[in-house]
Amino acid sequence: MALKIFITGASSGIGQALAKHYAEAYQDKGGAIIGLAARRQDALKSLQTSLSTTANTVIYPLDVRDASALAQAAQDFIQRFGAPDIVIANAGVSAGTLTEDKTDLAIFKGVIDINLIGMVHTFQPFIKAMKQTGKGSLVGIASVAGIRGLPGAGAYSASKAAAIAYLESLRVELAPSGLHVTTIAPGYIRTPMTDINTYPMPFLMAPELAAKKFARAIEK
């Protein structure tokens, strides 16, 4: 039976690497059905084309801040394929912020809306159907920045700390239903988001290697 996965932030970086990993890893294990969600439709179409020989994919151009768009995507995915086995809330942004700078207030809100509230929007419409199957995994991509705040990255650090606490709460909340909640808190991964950084990034990891490590953690 094919593995059913839904991934946000799938158009590049970690999300793209995860989609490619699962498509390849399950090619000879019944295949993979992958829902790919992100804002950039052109990039989603390109990824879909690249995966056409290894997985059954469907794309959902959307913004995770839009709860109704995610609800519609979830409904479509479930109607077509059934409840997913894995939902990965990966969509995230980073931006330098300074609390003293009034113009950064809107940036704080935007980062938290995407990195935290977007995660809630991603999980919410899938939980009922997954509960009915009594199995499945909800996966949130957090960061080590959520454990130790970084100067000049207050919004990002706070959003990831909140994500870690939210996922911890959700894990206990859903345990009786048979659903698993996995928190992934990586360090620096080589993605378009980190490519703009001009400072040293210790232990920088290739996204392909990160995807393998993440998948192993999810499976465990």
Q: What is the pLDDT along the chain (220 residues), one digit of tens a residue?
A: 899 999 999 998 889 999 999 999 999 899 999 999 999 999 999 999 999 888 999 999 999 999 999 999 999 999 999 999 999 999 988 778 888 889 889 999 999 999 999 999 999 999 999 999 999 999 999 998 899 888 888 999 999 999 999 999 999 999 999 999 999 988 767 666 554 555 555 556 787 888 898 999 999 9
Residue 188: predicted pLDDT: 64
156 is catalytic: yes
Tell me phi and psi for residue 113, to 5 degrees: -60, -40
pLDDT of residue 33: 97
Q: What is the pTM of this model?
A: 0.91
| Active-site annotation holder among 22, 156, 166, 188 | 156
How far CA 82 is from CA of 32, 69, 132, 218, in Å, comes to: 13, 18, 11, 20
Q: What pLDDT score does 199 carry?
A: 55
Say what the pLDDT of residue 189 is. Answer: 77
Q: Which long-range contacts (CB under 8 A, 24 or more apart) does 48-52 make?
A: 50/20, 51/19, 51/20, 51/23
Which residues on adjacent β-strands are paired with residue 14? Answer: none
Q: Which pLDDT does position 205 carry in this prediction?
A: 75
